[in-house]
Amino acid sequence: MWYKKCGIEDVPWLMEFAKRHYGDLLKNYQETGVWLAHRVMQEDVLILRTERAALVTTEMVRVFDGRLLHCAYLYAGNIWELLTLFRAALAWARTRGGKALEFGCDTGYDMAPLAKRLGARLKTDDIYYSMES
Other CB atoms closer than 10 Å to residue 73's CB: what's the count? 13
CATH of residue 126's domain is: 3.40.630.30
- 14 or 64: which leads in pLDDT: 14
Q: What is the pLDDT of residues 94-116, one digit of tens each?
A: 888 887 788 877 666 777 888 88
pLDDT digit string (tens) for 66-75?
Answer: 666 677 766 7
Whole-number Å distance between alpha carbons of 16 and 62: 32
- The 3 state secondary structure assigned to 93-130 is HHHCCCCEEEEECCCCCCCHHHHHHHCCEECCCCCEEE
Please determine, for residue 62, whether its predicted confidence score (pLDDT) is greater than 80. Answer: no
The parent domain of residue 116 ranges over 4-132
- Structural domain count, the chain: 1
Residue 126: the pLDDT is: 61
